[in-house]
Each structure stands twice: as structure tokens, then as C-alpha cells.
Structure 1
Amino acid sequence: MNHIIAGQDTHGNDINLDYIDHGDGKPVVLIHGWPATYKMWEYQLTALVEHGFRVVAYTRRGFGNSSKPFEGHDYDTYADDLKAVLDQLDLQDVTLVGFSMGGGEVARYMSRHSGARVSRVAFISAVTPFLLKTADNPEGVDRQVFDEMIEGVKKDRFDFLQGFGKKFYGVGMLSNPVSEAALDWTQRMCEVADPRATLLSARAWSETDFRQDLAAIEVPTLVIHGGDDALVPAKVSGERMTHFVPHAEFIEYAGAPHGLFIPEKERFNRDLITFVHGGDVQKTADRY
């Protein structure tokens, strides 16, 4: 098991981030969603390596096999952890790919650390620019929605994760985009998360305003969002990204759920590989 040390907790214990580092070539760093681990990228890891990229994926603090400190579950700290990954592996010309809450890490890193070492960024089903409905963000989601999620985690985290997984992949009475085995695998992966980290990080991704962070992004930017995302609606997030990153390419996958990296893996892998290579993603997307 590989670990990167991302500082210490208040007791002087090292905070270790579990990661993998495969392949050679231009580096792609994959940042997972809530409350999963880097293993959610299973179908992307192999595809990217096979196309000549070096792929680094890590699990944020509080989740999976990474350290589970009591504190540090906020986006400034998450961005600093990402910096530790890039610095300690001495990665250059990096493409950052953030899924869901991982998009927040990308945005905060680009502003807090001036985009050091990064040449491209991709936001996939991301929580950016700002999810919470406020007086100056009327397009957002009512706080009650997030409060109910928090209460669900507190009441019975395992039952919550079971229902969450179905919404995550868009499973319904007439829709089964992933297998029962994939749902079970996802739940096992998410159950390993620290309960406190699960709660605090949910507050972080639902309440953090990334609009000013996005203004710092000048590198090529890709935004992909599922049209049927029931957890982070495209109208609140993906569709609004070009307002804050005008040069971004926005591609909506019609009918796709939040967790599009499995049911849409062939298309998503092709678009991501095209983007990292510097190609025209829209031409790829237009085939569908």
C-alpha cells in the first residue's frame, strides 16, 4: 500500500493518503467523490494507462484506507492535501480530474495554489460553482435537502448509503444502469469512510462557494455532467460552469446519472482521453 504524508494531526500523527501511481507519460490525477475512494475510478485507471498516461489516484483524508483525523475536513485542507500529492510525486503538466466533491478540490487548488503544476482541469458531475441556495445564489438547492441527507447519515449510515447508491447511479423501477453487484461494491467502498468525515465533508461540499475560485482558472477546462443527475443537478452545477469559466467546454450526457463513470464509461473514457491529449472533445461528443 502506498501512502503520501499530508502533514500531521493535532497530536503529531502523520496524515497518510492512500494512492496508486500507474503508467508513464503525461500525468492525470483523479480525485474521487463522496463518500467513496480512488477505487471508484476502476474503469478509468486501466483505460488511461493503456492510452499512454501516468495515472495517479488518491483517497482523501477521512475515507477508505487514508488517515482519519478528527479535523481538517474542509476545502482549504483538501486543496493542501492535493498539493502534497503533486509536490511529493513531483508531477508536472498535470491534468486534474475532479468528480462530484472532487471538483471542489480542483477549484480550490487552482486558486489557493495558483494552479501550480497543472495544465488542464476537468470537472465531472462536480459540485461547483455553488450548490447551496442563498440570497445571492437563488439557483441553488434548498438547505433542507442537505439537512435531510445529514440526518439520514446520522440515523443509519448504512441504510442511507443503500438509498444513496441507487440515486447515485440512477437506479429506479424502470432503470438499471448498473448491476446489483456494482451497487454492493459501491456501498462497501463507502462504508469504510469515517462517520465524522462523512458528515463534515458533506457540509463542506454542499455549503462551500467556489465561484471566486473558478475565476482563477485559465487553463483548458472540460465540464461533463449527466442530464439526469438526481444528486447534483446539471442546471445548478454543470450548466452554470461556463458563467464562471467562460472558456470551458460543457458537455451534457443526456439521460446520464450522477455516477456516470460506470454506465457511461466508454463515452466518458473516450472524451477524457481526447481532452488530455488536447483534442476537440465536442467532436467526440457529437457522435452520440
Structure 2
Amino acid sequence: MDQTKNPQSRVVSTSNGHYVTVDKNVNIYVEDVGEGAPVVFLHGLPVDHRMYEYQRNVLPFKGIRFIGIDLRGFGKSDRPITGYDYNRLSDDIREVIDQLNLDQVTLVGYSMGGAIAVRYMARHNGHGVSKLILAAAATPLFSQKPDYPFGLPIEVIDSIIASGYEDRPQMIAAFNSTLFHNKPSQEFMDWYNRLSLETDAIATFKCLEALGAEDSREDLAAIKVPTRIFQGMHDQMIPFEPQEKGIENAQVIRFENSGHGLWYEEKDKFNEEILKFVQS
């Protein structure tokens, strides 16, 4: 496998992508496919960037540079036991954007990845990002609060974490079964569950804790770039109304036949809407 390293950078490049060194020698894996307008994809919990297979297989042939990041603890990235709060995860994204010299990026965040994208836009003032797509994004909160009736009760999130400590494969299967309005094939679910189980267990639990604890309501107003909110109309986890109200220049794209897993359930529409937005 050919590898090149610029001695002035912290990037090791291979024929398939890059390893970017971020906090305390943690290496983040980035798949980099195609040429053209850079689109950075942030995955959801509990999988890695490979969930975007159905975008990777299409978009690079239509003028899109597909850049899929494995968050720390996921996929081919390193697996430290700390660093799973939104601030640190968004700082990792900043390192990737800087080290790969990316600019005029369209940032796509799905579910937890959408929450991290929102934190990135606020914490790093949208550095390098010209457009934002929030796909079933778990933001501004994933858990209910006395003044925020949306999302899941914190007791439900705590019970999911507790069940993972007892039987993680069963917890993963149960969690993933709630994602889709129209149940995919058993073979697809087997694949998706395998991706989920390849994620570090500590990373899974710590990210679930972050989903329950983090509050990004103040972050929404910091987003000034054109934004699209992709929302499955049968999503039982995430409402889009707080995002639409809180983000200037946000437009909702409805996916009428999807639940939380809209990137797969309506993959053709998902890809078409990305292309339309990036090329506008």
C-alpha cells in the first residue's frame, strides 16, 4: 500500500484515504473518493462512515468529492477512552478540515453527526464550511428537558446504555430496529448491525451519554450558511421544528416515506437533494 507523508503535516495518505492525527496522537480515518466539490459526511451512532455506502457509490461519479470521516472510536479511527463530548468531536473535525486543506465544504451530518455538525458550526464559526445539511439530526437536544418536550426521556437513554453493558449485541439490534419506517431486508440489517458492533463499546456508551446530556440550543443561531434540513416524516426520534425555527436560512426537505434512516429508505432522493444543493 502506497503511503505518502508531508513532514509539515499530520496526515498519512493511502490509496483509500487519510489518517489525520488530532488530539494527543489520536488518528482519525478519512475516506476520500472522487474529485470536485468537497462534501464531508459525519455518520450517526452506532456505525461509521460506511453507512454512507449508497452515497459513496453514486456521488463521486457526479462531480462530488466524497469525504467520509470515522469519528474517534468508530471504524478505522483510534479508540481512546475519552473525548466523546461534542466539543472534542467537533475539534477533531476542525483538524481534518485544516490538515486536508478543505474549503467551501458542504458538511452533512446525520443523527448524532448532525449534532456534532451544529456544534462545529458554532464552536469553530463554520470554518471552511459554505453549506450545511442536517439529516435527521439529533439536535438541538436528543433528550427531553422541563422546557423542551421533544426527544426521548433521559430515563429511556439511560436504560439503553444499561442494556448495552449487559448485552451489547441485543441492545444494538433493538436500537437499529427503530430506525426505519419500511423495514429493510434481513441481509441489510445484518450488515448494519455488524457495522455497529465494530464500533468500540466505550465509544458507543460515551456517545449515548453525550446525546443525553448535550444541549445545542444556543448553537443554532450561530449557523449563518445556507442550510437544508432533511427529515423523514415517520421519524420517531427527531423532530425538525426546533431546527427550522432556530437556524437562519434553513429549508426543510421532507422525505415522506422515511423514518430516521432516510439516507437508505429514500437514497435516490437523498442523493439528488445533495447534488441539487451542492451545485446550486
Please report the TM-score for the alignment, with normalisation by the length of structure 2. Answer: 0.91
Partner of 1:286: none
The CA distance in 1 between the partners of 2:176 and 2:153, in whole Å, is 21
Structure 2 counterparts to residues 140-155 of structure 1, below 5 A? 140-155=151-166
Matched, 1:209 2:215: yes
- The worse-fitting range, judged by mean Cα deviation, of 89-98 and 253-262 is 253-262
Partner of 2:51: 40
1:35-74 Cα deviation digits (max 9, x unpaired): 1000000011122211101111110001122111011110
Matched, 1:193 2:209: no
How big is the shift at 1:218?
0.5
How big is the shift at 1:75?
0.4
Which residue identity lines up with residue 22 of structure 2 in the other structure? A
The CA distance in 1 between the partners of 2:268 and 2:251, in whole Å, is 19
1:237-257 Cα deviation digits (max 9, x unpaired): x12211111320012212311
The CA distance in 2 between the partners of 1:44 and 1:63, in whole Å, is 19
The CA distance in 2 between the partners of 1:95 and 1:208, in whole Å, is 24
In structure 2, which of residues 232, 238, 252 is the aligned counterpart of residue 233 of structure 1? 238
Partner of 1:11: none
The CA distance in 1 between the partners of 2:214 and 2:95, in whole Å, is 22
The CA distance in 2 between the partners of 1:202 and 1:228, in whole Å, is 22
How big is the shift at 1:223?
0.2
Matched, 1:102 2:127: no
Question: What RMSD, in angstroms, separates the aligned Cα atoms of the two structures?
Answer: 1.3
Matched, 1:82 2:119: no
* Conserved 8 A contact 2:143-2:213: yes
* Conserved 8 A contact 1:133-1:139: yes
Partner of 1:59: 70
The CA distance in 2 between the partners of 1:141 and 1:199, in whole Å, is 16
Partner of 1:128: 139
In structure 2, which of residues 98, 103, 110 is the aligned counterpart of residue 92 of structure 1? 103
- The worse-fitting range, judged by mean Cα deviation, of 28-37 and 58-67 is 58-67
How big is the shift at 1:101?
0.2
* Conserved 8 A contact 2:234-2:256: yes
Identity of aligned residues (%): 36
Structure 2: which 5+ residue stretches go unaligned? 1-15
Partner of 1:258: 260
How big is the shift at 1:140?
4.0
In structure 2, which of residues 30, 39, 47 is the aligned counterpart of residue 19 of structure 1? 30
In structure 2, which of residues 263, 275, 279 is the aligned counterpart of residue 277 of structure 1? 279
Structure 1 residue runs of 4 or more that deviate by more than 2 Å after TM superposition: 138-141
In structure 1, which of residues 220, 233, 238 is the aligned counterpart of residue 226 of structure 2? 220
How big is the shift at 1:119?
0.2
- The worse-fitting range, judged by mean Cα deviation, of 217-226 and 148-157 is 148-157
